[in-house]
Amino acid sequence: MTPRVVGLLLAAGAARRMGGPNKLLAPIGGRPMVARAAAALAEAGLAEVVVVLGHDADAVRAALAGVAARAVVNPDHTSGLASSIRAGIAALGADVEGVVVALGDMPLVRADTVRRLVLAAREGEEIGAAAPYHRGQRGNPVVWGRRHFPALLALTGDRGARDLLAALGDAVARVEADDDPGVLRDVDTPEDLAAIGFSASGAAPPPGDADLRALYQATIMRHARAPRGLGPLADATHRARGENPLCGDRVALALRCDGARVVAAGFEGAGCALSMASASLLADTVPGLTVADARATRARVLALIAGSAGDDPGAGSLGDLAALGSVRAFPARHRCATLAWDALDAALEGV
Ligand code: ZN
């Protein structure tokens, strides 16, 4: 028999970061963030989805209309995340053999990843523990078998189950989720969203598929927050800089080339989230390419931004770079996205 595993969505937080309106209610791809997160659990085929409410409970409950989920209220939610995990576990039936603990502000997790986690957590007849990893970094949600419930019920404060996972070490099954950046992505503040042309109210999004848009937005934010290749590059052979006076972006690109191949790329500078994300994506993509391939990649990125890519048959192979296409509908921001790529063109001149 299939073990009875339920989804536990933590949606009780005060979401202070967002200021003003509750972040969990912000539309992501056309539906409230919390509803998206709950729907992914439901679509994964879990036996039940339980959503723990607290702050703004009535509004969050209303946002969940149409999602097959049971709401429980954590009256103690201000004491931190652990109290919501406890309230959720306490609300589960005695026949539940495992739980997928997910976060209400991580709406981009794919249902397929949840399914893979549950499979990985199976230890014969029993459910153990499993966690997803994206490019080596542990994310959410995490699966816990019934044998871990006492430890979950003993959690306190706002640290969640991090220490518990650390203590279990290799006993936690590791699920590689390189194809699902949603396991790392929480969704950002209004300022972050505005910085890349999106608004928290969902106004004026660029055209295109809503899910894809949310994913692109998350990709840009990830690179803007933790840019790859930021810092001085040792043994650089070619350099070029670019400036965007419109919003003060400055990028100094450095390459290390060996013959007709780019071996390493890095950049220094400062600017808006989009300019930093674009430079980061470049530094992530270009190393390993021949000069000809680096130029071809630049041409495809520029075409994507300009909207002249049409039906690029290889668009899928652009990977994360495809996210830069989301700036297409915002001509005033094109320069932010092309800055680093123009510097690449200049730097490659000398190779
Ligand atoms: Zn900019």
Q: Which one, of 221, 155, 232, 236, lies nearest residue 182 by Cα?
A: 221
The structure tokens listed for 101 are: 């603990």
Answer yes or no: do 255 and 153 share one domain: no
Residue 124 near residue 1, CB atoms below 8 Å: no
Query: 309 or 255: whose pLDDT is higher?
Result: 255
Q: List Cβ neighbours of 57 (8 Å cut-off, separation of 6 or more).
A: 12, 71, 73
Answer yes or no: do 10 and 50 share one domain: yes
Whole-angstrom distance, CA of residue 346 vs CA of residue 351: 10
Q: Is residue 190 part of a domain?
A: no
Whole-angstrom distance, CA of residue 74 vs CA of residue 313: 50
Whole-Å CA distances, 291 to 302, 349, 351: 17, 10, 8
Query: 204 or 223: whose pLDDT is higher?
Result: 223
Domain with 148 in it: what CATH number?
3.90.550.10
Tokens 């518990």 locate to 164
Answer yes or no: do 344 and 217 share one domain: yes
Q: What is the pLDDT of residue 98?
A: 97
Q: Which domain holds residue 249?
A: 211-349
Answer yes or no: do 145 and 287 share one domain: no
Q: Is residue 326 part of a domain?
A: yes
Q: Which one, of 127, 124, 51, lies nearest residue 96 by Cα?
A: 127
pLDDT at 108 over 90: no
Answer yes or no: do 37 and 149 share one domain: yes
Half-sphere exposure of 29 (CA within 13 A, CB side): 21
Distance 136 CA to ligand 1 centre (A): 30
Q: How confident is the model at residue 201 (pLDDT cuts 50, 70, 90)?
A: very low
Distance 251 CA to ligand 1 centre (A): 11
Tokens 């070490």 locate to 169
Q: What is the pLDDT of residue 207?
A: 46
pLDDT at 16 over 60: no
Distance 217 CA to ligand 1 centre (A): 15
Residue 226 near residue 283, CB atoms below 8 Å: no
- The predicted model scores a pTM of 0.60
pLDDT at 334 over 70: yes
Answer yes or no: do 241 and 120 share one domain: no
Query: 310 or 321: whose pLDDT is higher?
Result: 321
Averaged pLDDT, 171-181: 90
Averaged pLDDT, 97-118: 94
The structure tokens listed for 324 are: 């830069």
Q: Is residue 192 part of a domain?
A: no
Domain count along the chain: 2
Distance 24 CA to ligand 1 centre (A): 28
Averaged pLDDT, 18-22: 57
Residue 262 near residue 287, CB atoms below 8 Å: yes
Q: Is residue 102 part of a domain?
A: yes
The structure tokens listed for 284 are: 């992530």
Residue 48 near residue 70, CB atoms below 8 Å: yes
Q: What is the pLDDT of residue 134?
A: 85
Whole-angstrom distance, CA of residue 258 vs CA of residue 260: 6
Distance 303 CA to ligand 1 centre (A): 19
Whole-angstrom distance, CA of residue 148 vs CA of residue 127: 10
Q: Is residue 135 part of a domain?
A: yes
Residue 197 near residue 327, CB atoms below 8 Å: yes
Q: What is the pLDDT of residue 311?
A: 54
pLDDT digits (tens, 9 = 90+) for 52-67: 999 999 999 999 998 9
Q: What is the pLDDT of residue 214?
A: 74
pLDDT digits (tens, 9 = 90+) for 110-153: 999 999 999 999 998 899 999 999 888 899 999 999 999 999 99
